Amino acid sequence: MAASALSVRETPWKILSAEELEKQYSPSRWVIRMKAEEVVSTFVQTGNEATRKARATRRNQLNVPYGDGEGEKMDIYFPDEDSKAFPLFLFIHGGYWQNGSKDDSAFMVKPLTAQGMVVAIVAYDIAPKGTLDQMVAQVTRSVVFLQRRYPSNKGIYLCGHSAGAHLAAMVLLASWTKHGVMPNLQGFFLVSGIYDLEPIISTSQNAPLHLTLEDAQRNSPQRRLEMAPMRPVAPACPVLVVVAQHDSPEFQRQSREFCEALCRVGWEASFQQLRGLDHFDIIENLTQEDDVLTQIILKTIFPTL
Ligand X SMILES: N[C@@H](CC(=O)c1ccccc1NC=O)C(=O)O
Query: Which residue numbers are catalytic?
Result: 162, 247, 279
Cβ–Cβ < 8 Å for 164, 102: no
Instruction: Name residue 236's beta-bridge partners.
Output: none
Please tell me whether residue 43 binds ligand X under the rule CB under 6 A.
yes
Query: What span, in angstroms and rounded, lies between the C-alpha atoms of 47 and 53?
Result: 10
Q: Which of 26, 217, 273, 288 contacts ligand X by CB under 6 A?
A: 26
Footprint on residues 138-197 left by ligand X (CB under 6 A): 162-163
Range in contact with ligand X (rule: CB under 6 A) among 22-30, 69-77, 149-157, 267-275: 22-30
Of 16, 23, 40, 245, the one binding ligand X by CB under 6 A? 40
CA separation for the pair 48, 207 (Å, rounded):
26
CB of 188 within 8 A of CB of 239?
yes
Is 94 a binding residue for ligand X by CB under 6 A? The answer is yes
Is 252 a residue that touches ligand X (CB under 6 A)? no
Query: Hey, which bits of 93-138 come out as E strands?
Result: 118-122
Interface pick for ligand X out of 95, 160, 183, 221 (rule CB under 6 A): 95
Would you say 186 or 287 has its CB closer to ligand X? 287
The region of 26-34, 173-181, 210-218, 267-275 touching ligand X under the rule CB under 6 A is 26-34
**Binding to ligand X by residue 51, rule CB under 6 A?**
no
Instruction: Give the total of residues touching ligand X (CB under 6 A).
Output: 12
Contact call for residue 115 and ligand X (CB under 6 A) = no
Q: How far apart are CA 40 and CA 46, in angstroms?
A: 10
Nearer to ligand X, 31 or 237 (CB): 31
CA distance 106 to 119: 9
96 contacts ligand X (rule: CB under 6 A): yes
Q: Is the peptide bond before 235 cis (omega within 30 degrees of 0)?
A: yes
Coil vs helix vs strand at 82: coil
Nearest to 123 by CA among 99, 148, 154: 99
Residues forming contacts to ligand X in the complex (CB under 6 A) are 26-28, 40, 43, 94-96, 99-100, 162-163
